[in-house]
Structure 1
Amino acid sequence: MTPLSPRTLRGAIVSFRLPNPIPNVIVFQYNPVTLTRTLEVRTAGGGDAAGEEAFRIAGAPNETIKLDIELDGADSDVNDASGGVQRQLAALEMLIAPPTELVIANTILAQMGTIELIPPQAPFTLFVFGSQRILPVRIAEFGVTEDEFEPGLRPIRAKVSLGLKVLTYSDLPFTHPGYQISLAQQVAKEAMARVATASSLDAVLGAGQRIL
């Protein structure tokens, strides 16, 4: 009898048009094989800080995530008659484009001579990659490679390269839901770090050795 293998969770991009609490969920057809993270420390005194300022941290590190999302209409029903891969691409692209109703409203206001127009605001976006990684993000880079096309010239396969700027409690106001989500992720990360950190230098310097 073959044992049942655990079900692999699927990553997703989840967005909200606040204050509307109903999410728009874009589930990855395949989880990315590689995920690249870059973290840059936020120092209180800049790169040239000296003395005690050299050890001060101004907030959560600046983090960027890069990954590739693959869509394959030949492997599922995402290339059905209603748009398929192209529909999935459109859903992703709408995360970085202002809604047309706002564009129209600003056009009307401009024609009426209004000086201050309504600034477009991107949806509140979360990168979800398992229960331990739910991160508020802003899409900073977006590249698409379309591969193979059906007779109507809609893509059958596509690869989307995403660059995500992680938004932390240092970037968001306390009243924003992303602040609480970011802080909760930091608390979970601190708990994991305590488990992974050794309290003794014996394995590094030998028994009984001290640095301080």
Structure 2
Amino acid sequence: MTISSSPKLTKGGIVLIDPETAQVQRVIALQYNAESLKRELKSQESGGDAGADRAEPTRFKGPAVETISFEADLDATDQLEFPDQNAAAVAYGIAPQIALLESLSQPSSAQLGKVNSQASSGTLEIAPMLAPLLLLVWGAGRVIPVKLTSFSVTEEAFDPALNPIHAKASLSLRVLTVDDLGFASKGGSLFMTYLQNREQLAAKAQPASLSTLGVTGV
């Protein structure tokens, strides 16, 4: 028996849950973890504008607006080395994985058909089509409710049937907070846990003294 000393790799991914029941609908694991994750936070402040002549002390009116973006690599090379075990990759390359990510950005054909049927039957008010709630899972400490704001894919290599076999997918996400989801919802609870985890991490940072900054008091 061979014992490997390498740690088990945790994959990042996206989980789709029912926004009303919080039941897991689908789990999407990234084939390869992104090499970088760009996060941008913009504070929500009440009071004066950034371009005003006089600045006011910071008064938060809600959680920061956080955006997350990353690139995901998709590749069928490994599967194509073992065609007998990977019939779907042989037949379609990575087209199914691309289509799955694309589906996060638009309603399903069934939803569109239902709306059309309602319109044809004379329904006066048609409710917008509710999408699943997305959770970005990046390790156990980061389970974050998000909204997909943009998706793009660059298909870079193809098989003889023009199925894509290598591609880069770019995803931009906006973190959904209790302002967006409410405290009582599953998504709101997950955001609060995410925020508390960040606060606990901040508390673990090595404290510095004023002397480190070259001053004895303020």
The residue number in structure 2 matching 1:4 is 5
Using the alignment, how far apart are the partners of 2:26 and 2:139 within structure 1? 17
The residue number in structure 1 matching 2:14 is 13
Unaligned regions of 5+ residues in structure 2, if any? 80-85
Q: Verify the 8 A CA contact 2:159 2:165 in the aligned structure 1.
A: yes
The residue number in structure 2 matching 1:179 is 188
- Computed over aligned residues only, the root mean square deviation of the Cα atoms, in angstroms, reads 2.4
Gap change, CA 1:44 and 1:78, over 3 Å in 2: farther
Using the alignment, how far apart are the partners of 1:135 and 1:78 within structure 2? 34
> Which amino acid in structure 1 is aligned with residue 104 of structure 2?
L
Give TM-score scaled by structure 1 length: 0.88
Q: SS state of the match for residue 41, structure 1?
A: strand
> Which amino acid in structure 2 is aligned with residue 74 of structure 1?
T
The residue number in structure 2 matching 1:196 is 205
Q: 2:77 aligns with which of 74, 77, 89?
A: 74
**Equivalent residues, number:** 209
Q: SS state of the match for residue 62, structure 1?
A: strand
The residue number in structure 2 matching 1:210 is 217
Using the alignment, how far apart are the partners of 2:93 and 2:184 within structure 1? 38
Using the alignment, how far apart are the partners of 1:3 and 1:205 within structure 2? 49
Using the alignment, how far apart are the partners of 2:64 and 2:166 within structure 1? 36
1:1-212 aligned within 5 A: 4-18=5-19, 19=21, 21-48=23-50, 54-76=57-79, 77=86, 80-81=89-90, 83-196=92-205, 198=207, 200-206=209-215, 209-211=216-218
Using the alignment, how far apart are the partners of 2:53 and 2:145 within structure 1? 33
Question: Alpha-carbon deviations, 1:142-192, whole Å to 9, x = none?
Answer: 010012112222101111000111111222112221100110111111111
Question: Alpha-carbon deviations, 1:5-45, whole Å to 9, x = none?
Answer: 21221111111234361331111111111111111010022
Give TM-score scaled by structure 2 length: 0.86
Using the alignment, how far apart are the partners of 2:28 and 2:124 within structure 1? 37
Q: SS state of the match for residue 63, structure 1?
A: strand
Gap change, CA 1:3 and 1:102, over 3 Å in 2: closer
State the 1:53 CA deviation.
5.5
Q: Verify the 8 A CA contact 1:13 1:126 in the aligned structure 2.
A: yes
Which portions of structure 1, spanning 4 or more consecutive aligned residues, are displaced by more than 6 angstroms? 49-52
State the 1:52 CA deviation.
9.7
Gap change, CA 1:16 and 1:148, over 3 Å in 2: same
Q: Verify the 8 A CA contact 1:72 1:78 in the aligned structure 2.
A: no
> Which amino acid in structure 1 is aligned with residue 11 of structure 2?
R
Query: Percent of pairs identical after alignment?
Result: 34
Q: Verify the 8 A CA contact 1:172 1:179 in the aligned structure 2.
A: yes
Q: Verify the 8 A CA contact 2:94 2:165 in the aligned structure 1.
A: yes
Question: Alpha-carbon deviations, 1:49-69, whole Å to 9, x = none?
Answer: 899953211111101111000
